[in-house]
Amino acid sequence: MPTISMFYGIFIKMFFDDHAPPHFHVEYAEFKAVVDIQRLELSEGLWPRRAQELVLDWAELHQNELLSDWDLCAAKHPPKQIPPLQ
Protein backbone atom coordinates (compact mmCIF):
# COMPACT_ATOMS: atom_id res chain seq x y z
CA MET A 1 0.00 0.00 0.00
CA PRO A 2 1.79 3.15 -1.18
CA THR A 3 2.06 6.14 1.12
CA ILE A 4 1.00 9.21 -0.85
CA SER A 5 1.54 11.82 1.86
CA MET A 6 2.75 12.22 5.43
CA PHE A 7 2.42 15.09 7.89
CA TYR A 8 2.43 15.47 11.68
CA GLY A 9 2.93 11.72 12.09
CA ILE A 10 -0.12 10.99 9.93
CA PHE A 11 0.33 8.60 7.00
CA ILE A 12 -2.04 8.77 4.01
CA LYS A 13 -2.13 5.55 1.96
CA MET A 14 -4.02 3.89 -0.89
CA PHE A 15 -4.30 0.24 -1.85
CA PHE A 16 -3.89 -0.92 -5.43
CA ASP A 17 -7.17 -2.14 -6.98
CA ASP A 18 -9.20 -1.36 -3.82
CA HIS A 19 -13.01 -1.52 -3.56
CA ALA A 20 -15.30 1.44 -4.31
CA PRO A 21 -16.16 4.11 -3.30
CA PRO A 22 -12.92 6.08 -3.76
CA HIS A 23 -11.18 6.37 -0.41
CA PHE A 24 -7.83 6.52 1.33
CA HIS A 25 -6.45 4.97 4.48
CA VAL A 26 -5.04 6.93 7.38
CA GLU A 27 -2.62 5.71 10.03
CA TYR A 28 -1.79 7.84 13.06
CA ALA A 29 0.00 6.17 16.00
CA GLU A 30 -2.20 3.19 16.91
CA PHE A 31 -5.25 4.63 15.11
CA LYS A 32 -6.45 3.58 11.66
CA ALA A 33 -9.26 5.04 9.61
CA VAL A 34 -10.70 5.26 6.10
CA VAL A 35 -11.83 8.52 4.49
CA ASP A 36 -14.30 8.74 1.60
CA ILE A 37 -12.71 11.05 -0.99
CA GLN A 38 -15.92 12.24 -2.65
CA ARG A 39 -17.82 12.94 0.57
CA LEU A 40 -14.75 14.06 2.56
CA GLU A 41 -15.84 12.17 5.64
CA LEU A 42 -14.65 9.36 7.84
CA SER A 43 -16.17 6.07 6.68
CA GLU A 44 -14.36 3.66 9.05
CA GLY A 45 -12.39 3.84 12.25
CA LEU A 46 -12.03 6.14 15.21
CA TRP A 47 -9.23 8.60 15.81
CA PRO A 48 -8.47 11.81 17.70
CA ARG A 49 -10.60 14.82 16.71
CA ARG A 50 -7.58 17.05 15.97
CA ALA A 51 -6.01 14.47 13.64
CA GLN A 52 -9.35 14.01 11.89
CA GLU A 53 -9.68 17.77 11.34
CA LEU A 54 -6.16 17.98 9.90
CA VAL A 55 -6.75 15.09 7.50
CA LEU A 56 -10.13 16.34 6.32
CA ASP A 57 -8.74 19.85 5.77
CA TRP A 58 -5.85 18.37 3.78
CA ALA A 59 -8.20 16.13 1.78
CA GLU A 60 -10.40 19.09 0.86
CA LEU A 61 -7.37 20.94 -0.49
CA HIS A 62 -6.24 17.92 -2.52
CA GLN A 63 -9.52 16.23 -3.45
CA ASN A 64 -8.84 16.27 -7.22
CA GLU A 65 -5.34 14.86 -6.73
CA LEU A 66 -6.73 12.14 -4.45
CA LEU A 67 -9.28 11.15 -7.09
CA SER A 68 -6.51 11.02 -9.71
CA ASP A 69 -4.42 8.83 -7.43
CA TRP A 70 -7.46 6.61 -6.87
CA ASP A 71 -7.75 6.11 -10.65
CA LEU A 72 -4.04 5.30 -10.90
CA CYS A 73 -4.25 2.73 -8.10
CA ALA A 74 -7.38 1.19 -9.64
CA ALA A 75 -5.35 0.67 -12.82
CA LYS A 76 -2.50 -0.80 -10.71
CA HIS A 77 -0.21 2.14 -11.43
CA PRO A 78 1.78 3.90 -8.70
CA PRO A 79 0.03 6.97 -7.31
CA LYS A 80 1.66 10.38 -7.31
CA GLN A 81 2.85 11.97 -4.09
CA ILE A 82 0.63 14.73 -2.73
CA PRO A 83 2.15 17.62 -0.76
CA PRO A 84 1.68 17.44 3.00
CA LEU A 85 -0.37 19.84 5.06
CA GLN A 86 1.74 22.83 6.01
Q: DSSP secondary structure string, 8-77? A: TTEEEE--TTPPSSPEEEEEETTEEEEEETTTTEEEEE---HHHHHHHHHHHHHTHHHHHHHHHHHHTT-
Q: How much is the mean pLDDT over the chain?
A: 95
What are the structural domain ranges in the chain?
1-33+64-86
Q: Does residue 64 register a pLDDT over 90?
A: yes
For the stretch 20-37, pLDDT in tens is: 999 999 999 999 999 999
Residue 42's φ and ψ, nearest 5 degrees, are -65, 130
For the stretch 45-56, pLDDT in tens is: 988 999 999 999
